[in-house]
């Protein structure tokens, strides 16, 4: 887990163009923790793992290597996005899905 996690954490940070300090500030954990996590000298706490996954909008499973693709998280992200809508918009999406299934 450690090697996959540290590689994926570094890759996600670099994709966003962030330094370790910038990521730490945005996630709300010490920058030394980010450094230790990327070096693999420390395992992430559940809370830090959750914060990082939420910030990058990916699953904790992807970060720790339980799944190989970021896309494996898509249903969860879609559910969260739909859940953030108001009831009228959720009803509209539900109706659209029903219509599409009838094709």
pLDDT in tens, 29-85: 999 999 999 999 999 999 999 999 999 988 888 899 988 877 655 566 667 777 788
- Is residue 66 within 8 A of residue 6, CB to CB? The reply is no
Cα–Cα dist 55/57, whole Å = 5
In the chain, the N- to C-terminal Cα span, in Å, equals 43
pLDDT at 74: 56
**Are 51 and 81 found together in one domain?**
no
Burial class (CB within 10 angstroms; exposed 0-12, middle 13-18, buried 19+) of 96? exposed
**Are 55 and 89 found together in one domain?**
no
CB atoms within 10 A of CB 20: 18
Phi, psi torsion values for 17, nearest 5 degrees: 70, 35
By residue range, what is the domain housing residue 48?
A: 4-64
**Are 31 and 51 found together in one domain?**
yes
């Amino acid at each position: 887990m450690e090697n996959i996690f540290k590689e994926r954490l570094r890759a996600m940070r670099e994709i966003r163009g962030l330094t370790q300090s910038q990521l730490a500030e945005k996630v709300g954990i010490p920058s030394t923790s980010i450094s230790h996590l990327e070096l693999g000298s420390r395992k992430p706490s559940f809370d830090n793992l959750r914060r990082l996954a939420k910030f990058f909008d990916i699953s904790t499973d992807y970060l720790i290597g339980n799944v190989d693709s970021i896309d494996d998280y898509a249903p969860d992200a879609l559910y969260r996005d739909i859940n953030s809508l108001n009831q009228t918009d959720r009803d509209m999406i539900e109706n659209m899905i029903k219509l599409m299934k009838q094709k």
